[in-house]
């Protein structure tokens, strides 16, 4: 049975306000992601992601290109952040993630943006590449909850998330939607510039699933709580799809809702890597779907 989003329950007890206060401390010795830069963002210091104290937002809009369980009839209320804690050489949104396109807003303006999306009828608030602004998200949600926000929150992340930050978000985020990018550590560092990505990603997904469980969908076909995993199929099997699907089926849940994505294109710096410099084939996509089925996963879309 669908109930209230978790953050409203935390707001009633005062816990959400406490989390918002605690979140501020994360920025003073930044440890929001596993890069662990340790810089003080509240005084203008910049780490690997180059994010500061203000929130950098590229767009706020209903989005109809997400998974059907998020889009419904009136769209997923997406908030695209500028910058990123990953440095994917093939990023399709590199103007945002690498170059930092967008405009700075306060947490109060961010709260207003969420309420505007709700007023437009969006079924959820979808934070796209949120990790480096997780602290400000908690602060803004605390404000928006007091002002009437009441739809699910989606954490649409690259998968390079720390357990400490995820525990800050427990009960606040309703739907976790991580990417599972690479299984091999060497490839992950080469293409993402994220040391230890596979180990971090696996621990993060386990924690996400511990918090929200398998994806739950209501009578209208809309997701309201749980884990939704995305996996981008890479040319020549570079992502390690077989191992990833076995991990999801055996160590998370065979009922994990998995979107196997076939839209890879050689964007940004991919041309500098011959093995990345082409789109995937239809066969590569269908091979990935087959590997997911063979691993025992039962909720696959592509």
Tens of pLDDT along 269-282?
Answer: 999 999 999 999 99
pLDDT tens for each residue of 44-83:
999 999 999 999 999 999 999 999 999 999 999 999 999 9
Query: Mean per-residue pLDDT for 4-9?
Result: 96
Return all residues near 204 (Cβ < 8 A) that are at least 6 apart.
159, 160, 161, 162, 163, 166, 178
Task: Check pLDDT > 80 for residue 235.
Answer: yes
pLDDT tens for each residue of 173-213:
999 999 999 999 999 999 999 999 999 999 999 999 999 99
Give residue for tokens 């003080």: 40
42 phi and psi, to 5 degrees? -75, -15
Task: Check pLDDT > 80 for residue 1.
Answer: no
Query: Residue 2: what pLDDT?
Result: 84
Please provide the DSSP assignment of 68-99 as one string. Answer: HHHHTTT-EEEEEESS-S---TT-TTHHHHTT
Residue 166, classed as helix, strand or coil, is: helix
Q: How distant, in Å, are the alpha carbons of 72, 131, 137 from that of 66?
A: 10, 19, 21
Residue 224, classed as helix, strand or coil, is: strand
pLDDT tens for each residue of 280-294:
999 999 999 999 999
Query: Residue 3: what pLDDT?
Result: 87
Query: Mean per-residue pLDDT for 141-157?
Result: 98
Q: What is the CATH number of domain 6-242?
A: 3.20.20.70
Query: Mean per-residue pLDDT for 10-21?
Result: 97
CA–CA separation, 98 vs 178, rounded Å?
19
Considering the chain, what is the average pLDDT of its residues?
97
Query: Residue 37: what pLDDT?
Result: 96
Query: Residue 91: what pLDDT?
Result: 97
Give residue for tokens 């404000």: 143
Query: Mean per-residue pLDDT for 29-38?
Result: 96
**% of the chain with per-residue pLDDT over 70:** 100
**% of the chain with per-residue pLDDT over 90:** 99
Spatial CA neighbour of 115 closest among 174, 60, 63? 60
Return all residues near 12 (Cβ < 8 A) that are at least 6 apart.
none
pTM: 0.97
CB atoms closer than 10 angstroms to residue 95: 14
Angle at 169 between CA 168 and CA 172, to 5 degrees: 135
Task: Check pLDDT > 80 for residue 11.
Answer: yes
């Amino acid at each position: 049975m669908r109930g209230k989003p978790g953050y409203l329950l935390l707001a009633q007890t005062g816990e959400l306000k406490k989390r918002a206060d605690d979140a501020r401390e994360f920025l003073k010795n930044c440890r929001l992601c596993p890069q662990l830069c340790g810089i003080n963002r509240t005084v203008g210091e910049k780490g690997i992601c180059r994010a500061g104290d203000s929130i950098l937002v590229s767009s706020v809009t209903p989005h109809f290109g997400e998974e059907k369980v998020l889009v419904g009839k009136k769209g997923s209320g997406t908030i695209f952040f500028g910058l990123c804690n990953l440095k994917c050489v093939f990023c399709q949104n590199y103007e945002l993630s690498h170059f930092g396109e967008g405009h700075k807003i306060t947490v109060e303006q961010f709260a207003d943006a969420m309420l505007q999306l709700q007023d437009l009828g969006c079924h959820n608030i979808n934070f796209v590449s949120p990790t480096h602004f997780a602290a400000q998200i908690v602060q803004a949600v605390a404000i928006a909850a007091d002002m009437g926000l009441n739809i699910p929150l989606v954490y649409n992340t690259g998968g390079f998330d720390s357990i400490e930050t995820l525990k800050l978000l427990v009960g606040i985020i309703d739907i976790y939607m991580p990417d599972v990018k690479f299984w091999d550590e060497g490839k992950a560092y080469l293409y993402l510039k994220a040391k230890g990505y596979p180990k971090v990603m696996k621990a993060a997904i386990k924690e996400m699933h511990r918090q929200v469980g398998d994806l739950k969908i209501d009578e209208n076909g809309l997701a309201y709580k749980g884990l939704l995993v995305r996996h981008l199929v890479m040319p020549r099997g570079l992502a390690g799809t077989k191992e990833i699907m076995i991990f999801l089926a055996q160590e998370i849940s065979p009922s994990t809702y998995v979107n196997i994505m076939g839209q890879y294109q050689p964007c940004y710096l991919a041309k500098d890597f011959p093995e990345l410099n082409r789109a995937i084939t239809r066969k590569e996509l269908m091979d990935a779907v087959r590997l997911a089925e063979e691993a025992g996963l039962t909720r696959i879309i592509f």
